[in-house]
Amino acid sequence: MRIDIVTIFPEFFDVLDISLLGKARQTGLIDLGVHNLRDATTDRHRTVDDTPYGGGAGMVMKPEPWGQTLDSILDEKKNADAGPLVIFPSPAGEVFTQAMARELVDEEHLVFGCGRYEGIDQRVFDHTAIRARVRLVSLGDYVLNGGEVAVMAMIEAIGRLIPGVVGNPHSLVEESHEDGLLEAPSYTKPSTWRGLDVPPILLSGNHGAIAAWRREQQLERTRRVRPDLLDRAANEGESPSARP
Ligand SMILES: NC(=S)c1ccno1
């Protein structure tokens, strides 16, 4: 997968040199390009923002640097459907979920545009949508100072699903949200710790009973912490257990 990131803080993504994603880059599973929006400016102060038309607080990101930077990333010869997917993190976007991460891991080329200030001139989204698929995506119903933290989270959620990035692919299956439920609690040695025992069923060696216990734990935890997930599954006509 090719990933391009447009940002005014390129150093923010230095952390993608380490851990599993860093290894994925070294082995060629992920090819990353980070583009400093200020490199597309022409004035001495490398200005990327200006006051909003119509008044209002704060500043808006100018369209010209965005257009020039995206020109260098998007292949004009490809039509919008064949080219990359351009994602702008935004509190006004569709909510990012594990299902979306599973959907996006099949993309060959993702471009992430990190807004700052009060946001990006709307014409950047409109013009980019002429030549590429564009999605505004939100991590949740809260506001960040910019898109970089959200892009980092999305790259991690998507990147770890690329075959070969995570050592044991089975570990991706028994995770929260993979089957519409929260994950069951986990335990390891010692079997007793500060007077707290591991549930005896997990020491029984009865794999069928252990699987049944874990599923019940998932359902109980989901009912208690995220009943909305059960409602969502019901509305989508799926029982959580229906998922493979
Ligand atoms: N909720 C998201 S993704 C966001 C981006 C910028 N501010 O909030």
Give domain limits for the chain.
Answer: 2-160, 177-237
Q: How far is the CA of 141 from the centre of ligand 1 (A)?
A: 8
Query: What is the maximum span of the chain, computed from C-alpha positions, in angstroms?
Result: 70
Task: Return the exposure string of 139-150: e unless at least 16 CB atoms fall within 10 Å of the residue's CB, then b.
Answer: beeeebebbbeb
What is the predicted pLDDT for the residue at 55? Answer: 97
Among 7, 88, 90, 148, name the best residue to mutate to test ligand 1's pocket (greatest count of ligand atoms within 8 A of Cβ): 90
What is the predicted pLDDT for the residue at 244? Answer: 32
How far apart (Å, rounded) are the C-alpha atoms in residues 76 and 74?
Answer: 6
What is the predicted pLDDT for the residue at 240? Answer: 53
The SS3 call for residue 5 is: strand
pLDDT in tens, 127-162: 999 999 999 999 999 999 999 999 999 999 999 999
What is the predicted pLDDT for the residue at 40? Answer: 98
- Residue 173 pLDDT class (50, 70, 90 cuts): confident
The CATH architecture annotation of domain 2-160 reads 3-Layer(aba) Sandwich (3.40)
**Summary mean pLDDT of the chain:** 93
Mean per-residue pLDDT, 184-192: 98
Q: For 177-237, CATH number?
A: 1.10.1270.20
Q: How far is the CA of 7 from the centre of ligand 1 (A)?
A: 14
Measured from the Cα of 93, ligand 1's closest atom is: 3
Q: How far is the CA of 155 from the centre of ligand 1 (A)?
A: 15
How far apart (Å, rounded) are the C-alpha atoms in residues 2 and 86?
Answer: 12
| Number of Cβ within a 10 Å radius of residue 184 | 20
How far apart (Å, rounded) are the C-alpha atoms in residues 166 and 122?
Answer: 37
Binding residue ranges for S-adenosyl-L-methionine:
115, 139-144
What is the predicted pLDDT for the residue at 169? Answer: 76
